[in-house]
């Protein structure tokens, strides 16, 4: 499996607290059959859940080195799970122009140096409010699409308004967004309504890829169990592979 959403980069958000935790989680991931991981700490503007890209890159390089020394072969990449913000299109355009890293990291300040797209490509992992619909989400994401980005909407099954209306994201998909389900929802991690919603979205062919959204050392990957359930729901092992491996790989390679 290729995991495009998790909180294993240490010390940035409510995920891993230390390199030790991160290595423990990476070992679990490798054992479960994960080969590649995009580390996607939360980015929530105006809160403590953000960090500049220089800091995140340093943490990534250090984690890669420590993982290598520990004999862990999982490949690691950087991204962010970005909480939707009307300023996002402007921020990401500026970021793209700055080509990810500022010319002089020490002179870098401000929001444009705080966002990471998925492996610095065109896919952008975006989180929406869980309880109340953000009426401007469509236009914000449309602005991203117009600028050449592909918004990846994180865990659509968890939003109450999508649980009430599993076709809620159809217009978003037509406009150019893709949906990333949290596969652990299929085995009940987020309750019955999330499970039912994800199942419906999968059967309707709305889901582009599945990811773990792992936060804690106590979280389990449960990939074997999930894959079985997924194949049962889709009645197609090849399609399951597409959601767990092929499409996540497209994200890493920034392919359409």
Stretch that binds Fe ion, among 23-31, 63-71, 81-89, 105-113 (CB under 5 A): 81-89
CB 71 to Fe ion: min, Å = 27
Instruction: Identify the residue whose tokens are 């990471």.
Output: 116
- Between residues 81 and 114, which has the closer beta carbon with respect to Fe ion? 81
Q: Is 81 in the site for Fe ion (CB under 5 A)?
A: yes
**Ramachandran angles phi, psi of 207, nearest 5°:** -90, 130
- Between residues 234 and 252, which has the closer beta carbon with respect to Fe ion? 252
Chain positions 177 to 236 lying near Fe ion, rule: CB under 5 A, are: 213
Q: Are 208 and 250 in contact (CB under 8 A)?
A: no
Residues 30-69: x/- map of binding to Fe ion (CB under 5 A)?
Answer: ----------------------------------------
CB 155 to Fe ion: min, Å = 7
How many Å apart are CA 14 and CA 221, to the nearest integer? 18
CB 109 to Fe ion: min, Å = 26
Strands 36-39 and 42-43: unpaired
- Between residues 126 and 240, which has the closer beta carbon with respect to Fe ion? 126
How many Å apart are CA 161 and CA 131, to the nearest integer? 7
Query: How distant, in Å, are the alpha carbons of 59, 115, 143, 201 from that of 77?
Result: 11, 14, 26, 28
Q: Residue 123 is inside which H or E element, if any?
A: strand 123-127
Closest listed residue to residue 157, CA positions, set 117, 124, 195? 195
DSSP secondary-structure letter at 68? Answer: H
- Between residues 189 and 239, which has the closer beta carbon with respect to Fe ion? 189
Q: Which residues contact 174 (CB under 8 A, 6 or more apart)?
A: none
Residues 87-126: x/- map of binding to Fe ion (CB under 5 A)?
Answer: ----------------------------------------
Closest listed residue to residue 40, CA positions, set 71, 102, 82? 82
- Between residues 81 and 227, which has the closer beta carbon with respect to Fe ion? 81
Stretch that binds Fe ion, among 49-57, 78-86, 201-209, 226-234 (CB under 5 A): 78-86
- Between residues 41 and 121, which has the closer beta carbon with respect to Fe ion? 41
Give the count of residues interacting with Fe ion (CB under 5 A). 2
CB 180 to Fe ion: min, Å = 10
Report the side by side order of strands in the sheet with 178-182. Answer: 42-43, 81-83, 123-127, 150-154, 178-182, 207-211
CB 226 to Fe ion: min, Å = 17
- Between residues 213 and 242, which has the closer beta carbon with respect to Fe ion? 213
Residues that bind Fe ion (CB under 5 A): 81, 213
């Amino acid at each position: 499996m290729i995991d495009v959403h998790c909180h294993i980069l240490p010390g940035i958000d409510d995920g891993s607290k230390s390199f030790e935790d991160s290595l423990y989680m990476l070992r679990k991931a490798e054992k479960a059959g994960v080969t590649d991981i995009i580390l996607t700490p939360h980015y929530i503007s105006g809160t403590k859940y953000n960090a500049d890209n220089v800091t995140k890159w340093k943490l990534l390089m250090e984690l890669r080195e420590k993982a290598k020394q520990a004999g862990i072969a999982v490949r690691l990449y950087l991204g962010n799970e970005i909480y939707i913000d009307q300023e996002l299109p402007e921020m990401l355009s500026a970021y793209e122009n700055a080509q990810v890293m500022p010319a002089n990291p020490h002179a870098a300040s401000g929001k444009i140096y705080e966002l990471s797209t998925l492996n610095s490509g065109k896919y952008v992992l975006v989180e929406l409010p869980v309880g109340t619909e953000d009426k401007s989400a469509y236009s914000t994401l449309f602005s991203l699409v117009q600028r050449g980005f592909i918004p990846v909407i994180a865990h659509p099954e968890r939003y109450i308004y999508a649980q009430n209306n599993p076709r809620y994201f159809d217009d978003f998909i037509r406009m150019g967004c893709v949906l990333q389900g949290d596969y652990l929802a299929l085995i009940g991690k987020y309750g019955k309504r999330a499970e039912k919603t994800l199942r419906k979205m999968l059967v309707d062919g709305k889901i582009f890829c599945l990811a773990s959204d792992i936060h804690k050392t106590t979280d389990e990957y449960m990939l074997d169990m999930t894959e079985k359930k997924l194949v049962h729901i889709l009645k197609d092992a090849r399609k399951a592979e597409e959601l767990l491996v092929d499409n996540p790989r497209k994200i890493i390679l920034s392919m359409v």
